Structure 1
């Protein structure tokens, strides 16, 4: 896939768990600012308060980083972080919704729930990335992105601190890319450089 093909994507969704934080920080450092790219991040932290996580991510990112709030509009040039204790969904109108539903793969927020809702809302404009993690959350959601025409990237399990999450995706389907951390950084840089305006692509 060459750089020009990344121009089709205006929203970047990233999911990860154990062992993914360092990769996420490196990816965020690569994002150019300002950009028309919107970033949504779901990371298993085990905490209801993601304020400290947002502070840490802000140190590695030129874009504003904040917890995604119920009813808030997904906006470009911003990193939206799923809070703890609720599932985060993106509705077709481009707004966030919080749901206190059953835990999925023993976690809430669930990467699957977020990815599936974003796949329905953004289809071919969505790029989904699944990183290191110690459970299978995210595989089904990433597959939904793939089925609805979005770009799918899975961290190479050989480079992951916890292999189960990326391996679960690879067992389910063949993603567009299976990438090392450095390749993930390069992809994020290209997507953020080439992202088009969300509103003009609706």
Structure 2
């Protein structure tokens, strides 16, 4: 279900880290990977983002899903605009998250009109307006585009530190396809993960699609 139409795997990736470094500090990884991501110029982004988007739209998980949770990108993240446009153009249901800082959870809302139904929210990221959008139950979601700072080829994930997506993933009774989009520079050899840190099912970069593995096996 989760595989792309043409799955590409590679062991070659750029990383500021070396495998022998131990212990690995999450804060250090975030700092270094974000610095590299921030350093990508507009020309590089113009080449990389369409390649990642094309891979996303070729996934079986994408084709099989009718209700998709995406996110509005900010800063130097992979630009999700074309992915969202493809979602809407494909007749799928677009769901976007709204941060509930008081309860430290993500609330999910169906969005039809990006211009009218979104407004700056937490961290100035555009979020659904609760007065205009319908709240969606987590178990209605069939695919999630998951943001993150760094990932391993085994689909381990390092987020921004708030724990919002780990909490959301834990809340699913029926696990949807969890897909991350990232630049290849965000792929690192290892991460200091615990049992509470949730893996994704696929990590999609401009060069490869990495499927989740368990104990080193697909």
Instruction: Classify the TM-score, shorter chain.
Output: 0.3 to 0.5
Higher helix share: 1
TM-score, length of structure 2 as denominator length? 0.38
